[in-house]
Each structure stands twice: as structure tokens, then as C-alpha cells.
Amino acid sequence: MTTLLIALGAFFGYLIAYHTYGRWLSRRIFQLDPNAPVPSVALNDDVDYVPTPKTVVFGHHFTSIAGTGPIVGPAIAIMWGWVPALCWVLFGSIFIGAVHDFGSLVISLRNRGQTIGEIAGRVLNPRARYLFLAILLFGLWIVLAIFGLVIASVFKMFPESILPVFLQIPIAVAIGLWLHRRGVNLALPSAIALVLMYLTVWFGAGCPGTEWEGGTIGTAIRSINAALSQWPLWAWTAVLLAYCYVASVLPVWILLQPRDYINSLQLLSSLGLVLVSLLMAGFVGVHGKPVEIVAPAVQLHPLNAPPIIPVLFITVACGAISGFHCLVSSGTTSKQLRCETDAQFVGYGSMLTEGFLAVLVILAVSAGIGLGWPERGDMVGAELWRSVYADWNAASAGLGVKIGAFVVGAANFLQAIGIPLVVGKAIMGVLVASFAGTTLDTATRLQRYVVQELSRAISDRAPAVRPLVAPLQNAHAATSFAVVTAFALALMPAPGKPWSSATAGTGGLILWPLFGATNQLLGGLAFLVIWFWLLRREKPVWFAAFPAVFMLVMPGWALIEQIRDSFDKGNLVLFVVGCLTLALEAWMIVEALLMWPRVRGVLEESPATARSATATAAEGPNC
């Protein structure tokens, strides 16, 4: 019953937060205006800037920000107890994460859809632009290298998810063409897409429940899944990055936007199934077994674990706040909103939805796996939980334990409504792989924007090197740079491993230990930009100032600890990269402190626009 109360409490708590705190930010602070000009209309090019209904943009935004972060983070942090993890997710997402995403989106909307890094150059000072863009380039480089590994690992653990993930691509293209060319109501295409995607999940699992399951068709599907799951990591990384190249250069309405939208339908409906399952399980149990939380409420000193403060705040990232989200808000989402007032629904609402996902993950790994994990024998309850989480080093190493604990735990919940375990695992496996895939293709497009912006910035400041960097302003060249450099990093073996076809593709793990702290520090820097944007307009800043300080101090503290640890272990690469990252972050903070006394009430230079605001506003409301 405790699991049910937590799920319902979180659900209604997020609804209340959206209609109170979110509405206050929308109306009183940012003063969103349905008649205001927006980049998707003013700069419409039918490629990147495309006016789009808010439900479609919500789907793109939610699936892009909700990668494996809200799954992996809580699945590790549960070692300190479910209470600390739950509190950080609930309060962090409402008062920090959603404000960060919403604020980044609004500021980008009012700056031609520019990324937060580009805007920093005017809101803070020009040097901040280079520092921010350099940090973004580094962070996205790691994301592109590691997420190929994440998806490949999911495919190996849950091969039934492979076919559904790839069959979503033609479905997405068909839906995108249908919506864009005919402009039909979303209801029918959405229903068709959702049915087709669940059919692909059933098909990928070998058509369970029918005579095909044990026949030629079911056997062939399982054989294909098994063969594909044996592909080496580097091969999957190459295939996925090739797909990302195509998704990045095509107009957003052909593939990126509709795939994210239809994925959101499947992902949200899957979360709905889990919630309904919890309702059933809370009253009648699962196969007669009561659903109980078997993880400790608080456990401050797990075996070999780092201290809960500050590490909790970089371990649970996306479910509470993630700096990566400011890139999605200001990089792609702001170029698609057709109405300024849609920003609350998309920016604030998506983050609360992701927070709710993180809550369900916490319940799955604290209660769901206690119902049984067939691959781990006959253990159940607290004994099974301890076998999975006995040691921090074992639980935090690799992707299998983290992702597997959520997939199996959630699939156990689904049995309460009659969904077989094999189908439940397929549904949850597709959910994880789809989240990772939509984050990967969006990250590629974002990296393309960052490379193009950095190329323009360097060309403006250093004419001597302009011939070398100017070609990167081209979309194809910038995207090629993004995927090739990511593939080069991925081809390297993980730390301590010799190069081989089996270890190639794990190179993202070299710098992955620094990503958590760097990502969260990026969130703090985005809050700095929001803070200064508000100061220049003499608006209240307290709601952004506290999160800014918190998200600079905690991740900075964690990064210092990681630098010290890498020095003690003789890991020179991590030590040098960590020091450089910390230096860039510190430099930007110093730049902000120097500017602070001089910015209140002084508006920054406005960005150039393709059409005058007056002309755009004269066209009437966009909503």
C-alpha cells in the first residue's frame, strides 16, 4: 500500500505544482503573451524553425530530455535509501529542474531560438559565450559516445526490444508526412501510431499468446533478435550514429519531431500502465504476493559508496534537474513552439512528467524487483534486493544492474493487470531504448548547432583561422564533425581494457565519470544566465538565485572530489580533463561576479531578427 500512496501522492503533487508554481512563473515572472512573436514563425524555414502544435512539441521535448538519466540515476541512488532519492526527485524537479527547463525555453524564445550558450554572450559578456559553448561541446561529445553504448547494452539484455525500436522509424516518417502535408487533426494519427507501436512490441517479443509464438514466425523473430543482440558494440554505435546523422540534417517534421511524438505516446501510455498496475497491486498484490518496499528507507553508508552529500545530487540528475535539458529547451524546442504561452506546458510540464517517471523508477527498484528476478534464481524480497545492491561498486558498475532492475521491477508490476512477464519486459525494454534513442538523435542535432555557433564565434573573433572553421557552419559538415568525433571516442576501449572488437564501442566510459558533475554544473551555469536575464529586467530573482547557487556548489564539490580520486588512482586523463572543466566553470562564475554590479536594469543587446517584431505581431495571435 505504501507504493500506491507514494505514486498517487507524487502524481497529484505534480498536478498541484503545475497549476500553482508553474502558473505563477508563467504569468507573474515571465509574463507569457499569446500574441508575442516567436522564432518558429519569424524565422520559419521548414527545416529547423517549424511552428508546431504544443502536444507534438511536448512529445519531442519530453522524450529528448528523458533519456536513461531518470532511470539509471534513481536505480543507483536507491542504495542510500528510497527516502533521500524520493525527496530529491520531488522537490528538485518542482523547484529547480522545471524552473531551469522553463526559464531556458522562455529566454531562448525571446532570442531567436538561440542556444543558452549563445545568449550567455550577451546576457553576461562575450567571453562567457566561448566558455559556455566549449562546455556544451564537451558534454554533448560524451553523450553521443555513451548513448550508443547504452542502447547497444539494452539490445543485448533485452533483444526483444530491437525490432520495435527500428520499426518505429518508418511509422514516424509516415506520421510526419501525413501531419505536415495534410494538416489533419492529431487524434487519428496518434491512435494509429500507438496501436502500431504496441503491435511492434508484441511482434518483437515473438508474438506471444498466439499459435505463431511456437511456430515458424515466432522462432524466426527470436533467431533474428538473438543474432542482432550479438553485434559488437562498435557496430551498433556506427549504425546509431549514422541514423543520427540523417535525423539531424533532415527537416525536423520528417523524422525527429514525429518520432519523438509517437515515442512519447508509447512512453506515457507505458507509464500509465505501470500506474494502473500499482493501483491493482496495492489492493490485491501480484500473483497473491503483496507489493512491499524492500529497500531501506535511509542507508547513509552503503558498502564502498561515496558520501551521500554531494554525490546524491549528481547521481539523480534528469529526474530532478539536468543541465542537458537547457540545450534541448534552447536548442530545438524553442524553434518549434508556435505560441509563447505553450512554454509552460512544454517546459515546466515535461520536467514534472520526467520527475514522475523517476518516482516510478524508485518504486520499481525498491519494491518491484522484490517480487522476483528469474535470472537471479529463487530469491525474493529483501534478500533479492540485497543481492543486487550489496556493494556500491557492483551496483554502479556497468549498465545491466541499473537498467535491468527497473525493467524487471516494472514488468513485475505489470503482471498485476495480466500482462505476462515476457511482454512486460519487452514493453519496458523498448521504453528504455526509445528514451535513449530520442535523446541520442536530439543530442546530435544540438551538437550540430553548437559546432555551427562556435564556428561563427571563432570566425568573428579570429579572421586568420576563418578559412579553417568556416566550413563547419554548414549543417552537413557540422553534423559530420559531431558523429565522427563521437565515433572516434566510442571506438576506444573502456579504461583498463585492451582494444578488441568486444571492447571497441565502450570508449565513452573513459570520460563518463566526469559527466554527472559536469552536466549538473551546466545546469547551474544555465541558472546564471536566467538570473542575469531577470536582473537586467528588474524582475524577482530569488526563485532562480537559490537553485543557481545550489547547482554550482554541489556539483562543483563533487567534481573536486572526482578530480582528487582520479589523481589518487593515477588516472591522468580524467584528472586533466576534470581540472580543465572546473577551470572553465570557475572562469565563467568569475565573469558573472564581475558583471553583477553593472547589469541591473540594463538590457542586453537584442539579437538580429529576420523580420521585425512589429510585422510579426501584426499577423495576429499565433495560438
Instruction: Locate 328 and state its grid cell.
Output: 534541448
What mean pLDDT do residues 58-64 have?
91
**How is residue 548 written as a grid cell?**
543557481
Average pLDDT over residues 23-47: 94
Distance CA 608, CA 122 (A): 12
- pLDDT band at residue 456 under the 50/70/90 scheme: confident
52 DSSP β-pair partners: 337
Grid cell of 310 as nine digits: 554531494
CB-based burial, 528-553: b 16+ in 10 Å, e otherwise = bbbbbbbbbeeeebebbbebbebbbe
Q: Which helix (H) or strand (E) holds 15?
A: helix 2-17
Cβ atoms of 611 and 42 closer than 8 Å: yes
The reported pTM is 0.89
Is residue 615 predicted with pLDDT exceeding 60? no
pLDDT band (50, 70, 90) for residue 78: very high
Q: Take residue 473 and report the three cell numbers written for it.
A: 557552419
pLDDT at 160 over 90: no
**DSSP 3-state of 89:** helix
Look at residue 399 in the predicted model and tell me its pLDDT.
60
Q: Where are the domains of the chain?
A: 2-513
Q: Could you tell me what percent of the chain has a pLDDT over 90?
A: 40
| Residues 279-333 pLDDT 10s | 888 888 888 788 889 999 999 988 888 899 999 999 998 899 999 999 999 989 9
Per-residue pLDDT reduced to its tens digit, 378-391: 888 889 898 888 88
Q: Quick one: cell of 36?
A: 508575442
Asked if residue 84 has a cis previous peptide bond (ω within 30° of 0), the answer is no
pLDDT at 617 over 70: no
pLDDT at 612: 39
SS3 label, residue 52: strand
Give 407-427 pLDDT, tens digit per residue.
Answer: 999 999 999 999 988 888 888
C-alpha cell at 63: 522524450
Q: What is the pLDDT, as a whole number, of residue 621?
A: 47
Across the chain, mean pLDDT equals: 87
Phi, psi of 9 (to 5 degrees): -60, -45
Dmax (CA) of the chain:
75
* Rounded average pLDDT over 390-397: 74
What are the tens digits of pLDDT across the range 130-155? 878 888 888 888 888 887 777 887 78
Q: What is the mean pLDDT of residues 559-579?
A: 87
Model confidence at 371: pLDDT above 60: yes
Residue 618 pLDDT greater than 60, yes or no: no
| pLDDT of 167 higher than 50 | yes
Please state whether 9 falls in left (phi above 0), alpha (psi between -120 and 50) or beta.
alpha
Q: Transcribe 114-125 into DSSP letters.
A: --HHHHHHHHT-
Q: What does the alpha-carbon distance between residue 179 and residue 91 come to, in Å, rounded to a whole number?
A: 38
Q: At 204, is the pLDDT very low, low, confident or very high (cuts 50, 70, 90)?
A: confident
* Cross-strand pairs, 337: 52
d(CA 29, CA 563): 39
* pLDDT at residue 611, as a whole number: 36
Q: In angstroms, what CA-CA distances link 439 with 140, 328, 497? A: 11, 9, 27
In the predicted structure, residue 608 carries a pLDDT above the cut 70: no
Cell 507504493 belongs to residue: 3
- What pLDDT does residue 397 have? 60
Q: How far apart (Å, rounded) are the C-alpha atoms in residues 377 and 481?
A: 47
Q: What is the 3-state secondary structure (H, E, C) of 271-304?
A: HHHHHHHHHHHHHHCECCECCCCCCCCCCCCCCC
CA distance 589 to 584: 9
Band of residue 466 on the pLDDT scale cut at 50, 70, 90: confident
CB 563 within 8 A of CB 579: yes
Q: Is pLDDT above 60 for 613?
A: no
Return the axis-axis angle of helices 308-315 and 82-92, rounded to nearest 10°: 60
> Cell for 124?
553576461
Is-contact 489 241, C-beta < 8 A?
A: no
Whether 8 shows a pLDDT value over 70: the answer reads yes
**The cell 572530489 sits on which residue?**
561
CA distance 122 to 120: 5
474-491 pLDDT, tens digit each: 999 999 999 999 999 888
